[in-house]
Structure 1
Amino acid sequence: MAARIAPAHVTDIQQVLADHSRYWGERDLRDLHLLALVQEFGETCLVARSDDGVLGYLIGFVTPGGTGYVHLIATRDDARGSGLGRDLYGAFAEAARRQGAVRLKAVTSLGNKGSTAFHRSLGFDVRVVEDYNGPGEDRVVFSRAIG
């Protein structure tokens, strides 16, 4: 199941949304799939395609301060454990670097142990930030320099 990583198109994300549970299981994160991000930050929104459709994707952008921010990353259930998430992050880091990013950042909820383990394996610093998303909305924040 060889995947080609390329800039995402809105139609890719629509395909993901139509098959949402294969990427996110029981978690309903459809509201976080902002098509405007794909429209406006196309070079840093990436999709891994095979002949069998979208195997994984990453929605991200570069902030004016030089941070490559990953808003969402997911792999389809049949592509997990293949290194595809790592490959998507690598491709994103390269795209972000071309746009002047010097560091990467991502955020998740406190209970998302899978995301925390994944980001640790990629060398991210992990810290809990109280009220990150408003009062009582603590988040786990991942950060690392682009190496």
Structure 2
Amino acid sequence: MLACGTPDAVDRYRQAKQAAARTVLEAKTRVWEEFGEAMEEDYRSASKRFWQTVRRLRRGKQYSANTVYSAGGELLTSTEDIVGRWKKYFEDLLNPTDLPSNEEAEDGDSEVDSSITQAEVTEVVCKLLGGKAHRGG
């Protein structure tokens, strides 16, 4: 469709997209019906399996991190090590220790005019609004 760009190509693309969506919907419906029938059968004949499935569905998807790299590049695999690494990472991120002193910050900013003009604010706000109406002042 993108290569041709003709109305006919666009129409064929839309039809193919709709056909694919219908096929996916039908497949999902069929799978859920089969799942329901299997669950009903399990309830009658294998209640333990039925309740295990119900508990699993109630919990939802559970994701776990299998590996994380340490600060030194070592691969960590145990849950305790991974949690410790995340703790250290966020402690370092939220509590930085190597901030410049006030004197260094003042020396570096001496060449830059830090006052902000009304025109600069208006320009930035107009860019943020993305062409939407705004009040002038």
TM-score class, shorter: under 0.3
User: What TM-score results when the alignment is normalised by the length of structure 1?
Assistant: 0.18
User: What TM-score results when the alignment is normalised by the length of structure 2?
Assistant: 0.19
Query: Higher relative contact order by CA 8 Å / sep ≥ 6: 1 or 2?
Result: 1
The structure with more helix, counted as a fraction of residues: 2
* Greater C-alpha radius of gyration: 2
